[in-house]
Structure 1
Amino acid sequence: MTSVLGASLPNRWGASRLKHMTCLLNRGSAPNYVDNGPVRAISQAANQSAGLDWSRTRFHNYDGNATKLKGYLRQEDVLINSTGTGTLGRVGFFTGAPDDIPCMADSHVTIARTKSDELHPRFAYYWLGSQPFQEYVYAALAVGATNQIELNRESLGDAPVPVPPLEEQRRIADFLDAETASIDSLDTTRSAQLNLLAARERAMLDLSFREARSATPTRLKYLFSVRPRYGVLVPVFTDEGVPFIRVNDLLDLEGRADGLRNIPSELSAQYARSVVQPGDLLMSVVGTLGRAAIAPASLDGANIARAVCSMRFVPEVEVELVKSWLGTSAFHQQALVATSTDTAQPTLGMEDLGNFALTWPSDPKERKHLVREITRIQDSMRRLSSNLERQKSVLAERRQALIIAAVTGQIDVSTASGRGIEE
């Protein structure tokens, strides 16, 4: 019995190496980018798991026959991202450009063009994107240092491929096309529901602040006890030292507190104004704006990144209520205006932040009631969101399990579905 990457294949199946089943296995070429040109260049950013993202393609300046280009793409070419941690190994499938402009792969993308009489291109696409093969990519095919890794072409050519009879490959590809499309449709629906939940939560927050009986117009700076401040500009990481809080840590600051990276105490001392105290409101101010967390007691003395700001308020201000206000339309609209002229990623200035207008309840009792009411709303939305995220996770697991089972012959696709895939 033949096996591939630890999976036993049916007796009627064979196995081969990728280089023997392809007529082209090579990287594309470096484009000469222009605003508008005769050839579209497909990069790793455009080659997404959900399909080619044409909005991320750019144009290549070329005067000649595009079919002669190194990296010229033909319909049913399989595309493999070939550099960089996180994107390495991601697989796409080329079916032509929506505007019929000739396309090429850039030098970071490998083209696998199958011998169509031996390896069905869609079967190859599903095999190369399967979990066993993706794990093999990082375990055996990647070379180079962290974040500079790339696919070794010779090793990729030697990679194993299960080879069922060609007609069975077609049936498997058709089966997976139908089944994954159904799963992807459900996933898209769940994503849309998550977006609707987020919009509903924002609308409810807007209403809560707007309808507060003692709502009084003010500016954020009048709630501060000290001016807000950015953190460390260029961090240096060490095994021991001061815990260092970055933007992504704000997603679950208390849960990540024990696993934060550290910077030298000497470096932290140079940024003494941004040293964290319990109860500080930490917020992302570069790129993703408004992601926020309240500093727990366990992070007393920590420091923050340049992309994070620290806000400290007068004692009578409920920090939880300010954090909730950061989720309102009022905050996001003002943040959008304040960063509208930024040419790179949006960066919110501290003076602009302090001048943000808000309606703040002047009655302490109403503020405390509002905190309880908003907490109830957010807890409810969090439960619903968690449920949807869990469903998306299950869909992703089932999608991958189905692909693995089909491309290794663990299921007979001719009887696995009632969709009439053999017709």
Structure 2
Amino acid sequence: MERCIDDELPFEIPTTWIWVHLDNICTYIQRGKSPKYSSIQKYPVIAQKCNQWDGFSIDKAKFITPESLTSYAPERFLQDNDLMWNSTGLGTLGRIAIYKEALNPYELAVVDSHVTVIRPLKRYILSEYLYFYFSNPSVQSVIEEKADGTTKQKELATSTIKEYYVPIPPLEEQKRIIAKINEILLLIRQC
């Protein structure tokens, strides 16, 4: 017997769209691991401070010890257009950025245990669409309610992220939405 999820959905969507759990449209959703830091600047580890609302900054990254690289499974290495969602912290919880390989002058990068990597099915879901959805006020205003923990240390569990409902339009419509948002943001920046 199917259950009705209408009460769980935040708003109505067009009939050509579909509500899905994030886990159903991604190949990988996983929080990073605690790094062993090094002064050798070879393999950056992305932390909360690297993910700002104005974008991703590799300049704020620390580095892992080169010998600890073998403890990372290949899927833990960031890929172009992965989303990096801050999953813990007061004031940083919920900030999200898109990883761009072109902005990383190093061979590779990983994330620490305070950041969750979201890797969408790139043939069907555009990272920028998910970025705009998760950074919008309808999501950001309830992030703390979905988090566990105390006021001083809120945490967005990986299971909560995987179960998050996302409204998915057809791919061409995702492209139009992204283009329109970028057009509006450009106008706003010019003001």
Distance 1:67 1:180 in 2: 37
Structure 1 residue 88 displacement after superposition: 0.6
Distance 2:8 2:188 in 1: 26
Q: Partner letter of residue 177 of structure 2?
A: I
- Contact 1:41/1:57 (<8 A) preserved: yes
| Superposition pairs of residues 62-211 of structure 1, within 5 angstroms | 62-63=66-67, 64=69, 68=73, 71-96=76-101, 97-139=103-145, 141-186=146-191
Change (3 A) 1:65 1:180: farther
Structure 1 residue 37 displacement after superposition: 3.1
CA offset digits 1:210-243 (Å, max 9, x no partner): xxxxxxxxxxxxxxxxxxxxxxxxxxxxxxxxxx
Distance 2:117 2:190 in 1: 28
Structure 1 residue 174 displacement after superposition: 2.4
Change (3 A) 1:112 1:31: same
Structure 1 residue 169 displacement after superposition: 0.8
- Contact 2:44/2:106 (<8 A) preserved: no
- Contact 2:35/2:112 (<8 A) preserved: yes
Distance 1:110 1:137 in 2: 14
Distance 1:183 1:5 in 2: 30
CA offset digits 1:39-80 (Å, max 9, x no partner): 111100111110112321111112356983563210000111
- Contact 1:79/1:110 (<8 A) preserved: yes
Structure 1 residue 177 displacement after superposition: 2.5
Greater relative contact order, per chain length (Cα 8 Å cut-off, separation 6+): 2
Q: Partner letter of residue 117 of structure 1?
A: R
Change (3 A) 1:72 1:182: farther
More helix by share: 1
- Contact 1:40/1:102 (<8 A) preserved: yes
Q: Which of 61, 64, 73 lines up with 1:60 in the alignment?
A: 64
Uncovered stretches (5+) of structure 1, i.e. residues with no partner: 187-423
Structure 1 residue 168 displacement after superposition: 0.8
Distance 2:77 2:190 in 1: 31
CA offset digits 1:159-212 (Å, max 9, x no partner): 1100101111122122223332342354xxxxxxxxxxxxxxxxxxxxxxxxxx
Change (3 A) 1:28 1:184: farther
Q: Partner letter of residue 81 of structure 2?
A: E
Matched, 1:30 2:26: no
Structure 1 residue 19 displacement after superposition: 0.7
- Contact 1:27/1:71 (<8 A) preserved: no
- Contact 2:42/2:106 (<8 A) preserved: no
Change (3 A) 1:176 1:65: farther
How many aligned positions are there? Answer: 184
- Contact 1:34/1:60 (<8 A) preserved: yes
Query: Over aligned residue pairs, what C-alpha RMSD do you find?
Result: 2.2
| Superposition pairs of residues 288-299 of structure 1, within 5 angstroms | none
Distance 2:7 2:149 in 1: 29
Uncovered stretches (5+) of structure 2, i.e. residues with no partner: 1-5
Instruction: Give the structure-2-normalised TM-score.
Output: 0.86
Change (3 A) 1:183 1:65: farther
Q: Partner letter of residue 156 of structure 2?
A: L
- Contact 1:82/1:109 (<8 A) preserved: yes
Structure 1 residue 14 displacement after superposition: 1.1
- Contact 2:144/2:154 (<8 A) preserved: no
SS in 2 for 1:59: strand
Change (3 A) 1:3 1:104: same
Q: Identity across aligned pairs (percent)? A: 27
Change (3 A) 1:39 1:86: same
Distance 1:50 1:77 in 2: 17
SS in 2 for 1:116: coil
Change (3 A) 1:75 1:182: farther
Of 120-129 and 166-175, more deviation after overlay is shown by 166-175
Distance 1:4 1:163 in 2: 16
- Contact 2:29/2:119 (<8 A) preserved: yes
- Contact 1:28/1:72 (<8 A) preserved: no
